[in-house]
Structure formats: C-alpha cells, structure tokens
C-alpha cells in the first residue's frame, strides 16, 4: 500500500547552485565574419533552416544570420535590414530600431539567442556580435477555459506561450507588486519557467524553497507539465495532488493574493499553484463569482460528494455483505430482490462496474465530441441495461456506482477526482474483508496520511489539522466577502489582513 511506504526519499546529494552545474566554456568568436559563420555552421551541423543576409555597415562587410522559421519578416525587414541599408554607418544601437539588442562574444550564447528568435548581426573587425530581437513565436490566441468552465466571471484561459500568460497576469496587478522570477530548466530545451509571487504578501521562505527546488532540476528537457510538479512535491508517493493545476488566470490571481506562488512553464497552458491545502481542490472560482449563499451551497455539495465518491460503494458492499441488520427491513427486501439472480459477490460486481465506468470515461475522453456521444449511448444505456438483464450486476450496484461517478466528477480538480476514484478501491476491499471496520480502517489511514502530508512544507489539511477556527470561513462554506477579512494561514502570508472595508457605506450611513 502506497500509504505505508516511507514518504520522503532521502536526498544524499548536497544542493548545488545553478552556476556550478556546468563549467561554462566560452568559445571566443573572432573578428572575421566568414570564420564566425563557418564556426556557427559547423556547430549547427549545417542545419538547413539557417538564413543569411550580407550587408555593408560602417564600410565593413556585415552579415545577418538567423533561423528562418523564427523570424517575423516585417520586423526583420523594417527594423533591422532597412535601417542598415539607409544609414550605412553609425552606432549599431542607434541605427537599429528593435526593442532589445544584446551584444555578445560567446558562440553558445549567440546560438541560444538565435534560438529564441534573435537575428544576429556580425560585422567585420568588430569583436562583438549583436543579437537583435525580431521574433515571431507560433502560439494560439487566448481562448475560453475548456477544462474549468464557469458560468459567471472571467472566461480567459492560459495558452502555451509564457509571455502571453505573463501578459494576462501582469494586467491584473497594476501596482507592480507582482514579481516574476525566470528559471531555465533543461539542458537541451532550456525551457523558461516563471515563478510568480506578490511582494510583501508571499512568504519569502516558501518562495525560496520553490525556486530552489526548481533550480535543482537537472533534465534534458521539460516536455511535460509533470516534471515541474513532480520535482516540487513533498511526498511523491502520496495519492493526493500537492500542487493545484489551473488554466484560469483569475484563479491564479486569487491564489497569489492569498500569498501563494504560481509556477508557469513555457509551453504549458496550466499554472501550478503552491502551497495548497486539501480544500483548495474543492474551491472553484465560481464560488467567488456568485453570491455567498450559492457558493456555500455548492461548496457543501462538493464536500458531501467527496465522501460519497470515496465511500459509497464501500458502504454498500459492507452493508449487503456484513450488516444487513443495519438497514430498515423494507429496504432489505428491495435490495435482496435485486441481488437474487446475481452470481457474483458484491465486491466483484462493484469492480466490474467501476472498470466499465473507467473504460467508458477513458474511451470517450480522447474521441471527437461527435463520436463520444455514441460511446455515451452505447456505454450508458446499452451496457447499463443489458448488464442488469443478463444478471451480471444488480440494479442497486448500478445506482451506487453511477452516483459515485457523478460525485467524483463534481470535484473541480481533475487530479483530485481521479485520486478519489482510485482511493475508493482500497475502501471497497476493506469493506469486503471487514465490513464497516474495514472502511473505517482505510478512512483512518487516509486521514492520518492527510495530516502528515505537506505541500511545500506547509500542512496539507490546514485549517483542520492544525485546527484554525478562523480558517473555516472559507472551507466548508464560502462566507460573505465582508467576513473574509483575513487571508488563509495556509501559505503563511506576510500580511494576514486582506481588506479593510467592503460595505463601508453600511456603517457610515
């Protein structure tokens, strides 16, 4: 059982800083343009997508090299080539009208800059080469959030481009307290990872922990979102997600304001939020976008769904195989009637149904939506009805498993919903072996695990363990904004006060 395994692998390696990671060998560029070009081409194995444009500048031969696919032709023509052709001489930085010009001497840095979309100007007898930004990166536009849809409020969602995502975030903090720290991860991909936090609000210690953990990643490339997530987790073997994944800028904003940090990765359209607690996964932006009463109602519904999703099949199994005396007599007859012709023990029935359900979910997930409907009909109606008529699974079990599935999908976070469905298996086994005692046994282990668990060194089950009464205002219910005067203690923010007045007119009138 994963819960029993030691929760933190001991690191024997001493932490090393980023600078020491690889001894930087600077390859000095000469002053001869042709030599430099040859060095470059050899280094890049005569790659086909390199572009060249010979020019004359300051009466010397000059060469512009760049990766053709990365170039914005308008930028390149109007802001780089045209001024060079017109001016013919002068200071490079004055002639060229690009936002950023980086002089360098190093071949590796030059290649790295070119890969990021710079065109590099080489001039004969000039020891420096000039990387001029003229990039056009391929990216999609900001769209509606697909995985975390809400009814009221902002519909924006992150995209794959880090710059666009940071643009979305910057718009939301105009006083400059949003701080962005770039970290480069991956020796080949050199992926930019941005850690976002609010100055004077976020806890410095936690922030340093996150940055430190990201800096110590040594991989070839960041090809999936999970590398950063798994590098940051405190307990990699835990079934519970310890970082919150979201594609919604407004959700990131809310969490930043509560003193948490966000980690955005270039090429990944979801942000990671840390440190989070268990209840973060049950909060939806919807709760704050609607009125407090509705938000609280749905919050309670979700917490209820947590217990249903995890324990309903187990309770059903335990009841019908061990504790018949527990349910009222009339109900016993109904249940018994539906079980009459089923040859399997309840645990097998439950496993069959859960498996079918997961199959259907997995099958419809990646299909085009028009075909997915067919799966729904075939799976839901045909298999559902036929399996009961064939007496493989009882009616009751279908109801139980369907309710479980629906409840598990109520959770706003996909990770948490999967965790719940996975955890229902040990519960079912416990129920089949020991009845209610088995359920309580597994539940106790899960609660203990949650108490021990930490998200970036912060307790996971706060405000329940350690118990913070004031924290409960935004956990099981969402209190009216006028009472939410303090930020949750979970992220140990520097300032606890969140607001001074929302309804000041109320008392002034």
Partner 1 sequence: MNKNSISASQLFFTILQTQIGIGILGLPYNLFKTAHTDGWISMLISGCIIQVITLFHWGLTHRLPGLTLYQMTSKLLGKWGGNFLNIGYVFYYIIVSSVITVLYVNVLKRWLYHLTPAYVLVFLLVVIALYFAKENVRNIGRFFTIVSVFLIILVLLISNAYKEADVRYLFPIGHSGIQNILLASKEGSISMLGFEAILILAPFVKAKSTMTLKMVMLSNCIVTVLYVYIIIACYLFFSPDEILIVPEPVLYILKATQNSVIERIDLVFITFWIISVITSLIMYVYISSVGMQEIFKKKTHRPFVPIVLIFVTGLSIYFSKTDNLVAALSQATNYLIYVFIFCIPICLLILSWIRKGTVKNEA
Q: Give the binding site for partner 1 (CB under 8 A).
A: 3-4, 323, 325-328, 434-437, 439-441, 444-445, 447-449, 451-452, 459, 461, 464-467
Q: Which is nearer to partner 1, 325 or 362 (CB)?
A: 325
Closer of 449 and 478 to partner 1 (Cβ): 449
Minimum distance of partner 1 from residue 327's CB (angstroms): 7
CB of 464 to partner 1, least distance (A): 5
Q: Nearer to partner 1 by C-beta: 8 or 152?
A: 8
Is the Cα dihedral 35, 39, 45, 47 positive or negative? negative
CB atoms within 10 A of CB 94: 9
Q: Which is nearer to partner 1, 327 or 482 (CB)?
A: 327
> Least distance in Å: CB of 321 to partner 1?
13
Choice between 191 and 490, CB closer to partner 1: 490
Nearer residue to partner 1 within complex by CB, 327 or 371? 327
- Tell the smallest beta-carbon distance from residue 472 to partner 1 (Å): 12
Tell me the closest approach of the beta carbon of residue 484 to partner 1, in angstroms: 23
Bridge partners, 50 (sequence order): 67
Which distant-in-sequence residues (6+ apart) come within 8 Å of 344 by Cβ? 352, 392, 393
Q: How far apart are the first and last CA of the chain?
A: 62
Q: How many other C-beta atoms lie within 10 A of the C-beta of residue 226?
A: 12
How near is the Cβ of 287 to partner 1 at its closest, in Å?
A: 23
The phi-psi region of residue 90 (left if phi > 0; otherwise alpha if psi is between -120 and 50; otherwise beta) is: left
The residues near 79 (Cβ < 8 Å, ≥ 6 apart) are: 96, 97, 98, 132, 134
**Closest distance to partner 1 from the beta carbon of 46 (Å):** 58
Return d(Cα 467, Cα 464) in angstroms, integer. Answer: 4
Contacts of 109-115 with CB under 8 Å at 24 or more apart are 110/29, 110/40, 111/40, 111/43, 111/44, 112/190, 114/65, 114/66, 114/67, 114/70, 115/67, 115/70, 115/190
Letter string b/e over residues 7-17, b meaning 16 or more CB atoms within 10 A of that residue's CB: beeeeeeeeee
Closer to partner 1 by Cβ: residue 390 or 451: 451
Q: Which is nearer to partner 1, 409 or 434 (CB)?
A: 434
DSSP string spanning 155-176? -B---S-HHHHHHHHHTT-TTS
Q: Which is nearer to partner 1, 4 or 86 (CB)?
A: 4
Q: Which two tokens stand for residue 169?
A: 């975030």
Which two structure tokens, joined as six digits, stand for 481?
Answer: 């904004």
Q: Rank residues 133 and 234 by Cβ distance to partner 1 and give the closer one.
A: 234
Three-state SS string over 312-331 comes to: HHHHHHHHHHCCHHHCCHHH
Residue 336 CB, nearest approach to partner 1 (Å): 15
Q: How far is the CB of 273 from partner 1 (least distance, A)?
A: 23
For the four alpha carbons of 454, 455, 459 and 462, in that order, the dihedral sign comes to: negative
DSSP per position, 455-500: ETTEESSTTTTTT-TGGGGGTTS---GGG--B--GGG--S--B--S
Q: How far is the CB of 299 from partner 1 (least distance, A)?
A: 19
Which stretch of DSSP H or E encloses residue 50?
strand 50-57
| Residue with Cβ nearer partner 1 (289 or 457) | 457
CB of 331 to partner 1, least distance (A): 9
């Amino acid at each position: 059982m994963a819960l029993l395994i030691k929760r933190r692998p001991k690191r024997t390696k001493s932490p090393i800083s980023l600078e020491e990671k690889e001894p930087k060998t600077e390859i000095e560029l000469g002053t001869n343009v042709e030599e430099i070009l040859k060095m470059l081409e050899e280094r890049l194995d005569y790659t086909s997508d390199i572009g060249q444009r010979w020019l004359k500048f300051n009466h010397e031969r000059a060469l512009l090299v760049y990766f053709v696919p990365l170039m914005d032709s308008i930028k390149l023509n109007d802001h780089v080539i045209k001024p060079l052709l017109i001016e013919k001489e002068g200071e490079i930085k004055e002639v060229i009208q690009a936002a950023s010009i980086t002089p360098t001497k190093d071949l590796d840095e030059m290649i790295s800059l070119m890969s990021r979309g710079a065109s590099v100007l080489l001039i004969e007898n000039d020891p420096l080469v000039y990387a001029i930004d003229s990039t056009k990166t391929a990216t999609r536009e900001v769209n509606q959030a697909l995985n975390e849809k809400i009814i009221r409020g902002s519909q924006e969602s992150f995209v794959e481009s880090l710059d666009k995502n940071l643009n979305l975030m910057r718009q939301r903090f105009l006083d400059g307290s949003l701080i962005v720290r770039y970290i480069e991860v991956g020796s080949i991909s050199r992926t930019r990872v941005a850690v976002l936090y609010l100055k004077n609000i976020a806890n410095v210690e936690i922030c340093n922990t996150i940055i430190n953990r990201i800096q110590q990643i040594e991989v070839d490339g960041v090809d999936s979102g999970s590398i950063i997530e798994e590098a940051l987790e405190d307990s990699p073997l835990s079934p519970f997600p310890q970082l919150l994944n979201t594609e919604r800028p407004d959700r990131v904003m809310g969490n930043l304001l509560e003193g948490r940090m966000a980690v955005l990765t270039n090429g990944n359209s979801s942000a990671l939020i840390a440190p989070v607690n268990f209840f973060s996964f049950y909060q939806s932006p919807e709760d704050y976008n609607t009125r407090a009463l509705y938000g609280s109602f749905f919050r309670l519904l979700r917490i209820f769904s947590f217990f249903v999703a995890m324990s309903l099949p187990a309770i059903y199994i335990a009841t019908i195989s061990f504790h018949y005396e527990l349910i009222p007599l009339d109900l016993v007859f109904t249940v018994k009637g539906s079980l009459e012709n089923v040859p399997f023990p309840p645990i097998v029935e439950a496993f069959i149904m859960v498996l079918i359900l997961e199959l259907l979910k997995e099958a419809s997930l990646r299909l085009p939506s028009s075909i997915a409907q067919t799966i729904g009909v075939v799976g839901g109606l045909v298999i559902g009805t036929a399996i009961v008529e064939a007496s493989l699974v009882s009616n009751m079990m279908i109801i139980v498993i369907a309710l479980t599935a629906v409840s598990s999908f109520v959770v706003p976070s996909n990770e948490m919903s999967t965790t719940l469905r996975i955890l229902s298996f040990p519960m079912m086994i416990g129920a089949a072996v020991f009845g209610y005692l088995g359920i309580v046994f597994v539940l106790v282990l899960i609660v203990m695990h949650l108490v021990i668990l930490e998200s970036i060194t912060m307790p996971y089950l706060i405000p329940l363990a350690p118990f913070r009464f004031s924290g409960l205002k935004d956990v099981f219910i969402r209190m009216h904004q006028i009472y939410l005067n303090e930020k949750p203690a979970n992220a140990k923010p520097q300032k606890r006060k969140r607001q001074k007045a929302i309804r000041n007119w109320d008392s002034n009138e």
